Amino acid sequence: MYAGTIIIQQVLGWNLYLSVCLLLAMAAIYTVAGGLTAVIYTDAMQTVIMLIGAFVLMGIGKKYCNTNDSKTVMQLLQQQQKNEEYNLQKQTNDQTDKQTLQQTNKQTITTTTTTQGSAILC
C-alpha cells in the first residue's frame, strides 16, 4: 500500500496522506465490487445445481411412484393421519390416567392419629 502511495505522490504531486486516502478508497471499492460479483456468481451456480437436483429427484419420484396408484397413496395418507390421531389420543389418555391415579392414591392414603401420635396408612 505504501509503495502505491509513493507512486501516486510522485506522479501526481499530491500530498502523502491524500494519496493514501485515494488508494484506500480504490482498494475498498475494488474489494466490495469483487466481493459482490463473487457472491452473484456463487449464488447463480448454486441455483443451477439446486435446479438440476430438483429435476433429478422429480424424475426418480416419477419412476418409483406410479400415478395410477393415487388411491393407494391417499389410503396411506389417511392411515398415517389415523395413526397420528391415535397416538395423540393415547398420550392424552395416559396423562388423564396418571392424574386419576394420583388423585386415587391421595384419597386412599388416610392417616389416623392414634393416641401415641403415629400415622396408619391404609
Q: Are 110 and 122 in contact (CB under 8 A)?
A: yes
Looking at every residue in the chain, the average pLDDT score rounds to 75
User: CA-CA distance, 57 to 115, in Å (whole number)?
Assistant: 81
Given a cut of 70, the residues of the chain with pLDDT beneath it are 65-73, 93-122
The reported pLDDT for the residue numbered 58 is 86
Output the pTM of the full model.
0.35
Which has the closest alpha carbon to 108: 97, 98, 120, 94? 120
The reported pLDDT for the residue numbered 60 is 81
User: Which amino acid is residue 6, in one-letter code?
Assistant: I
E strands, the chain, are: 112-113, 119-120
User: Which amino acid is residue 97, in one-letter code?
Assistant: D
At 111, is the secondary structure helix, strand, or coil? coil
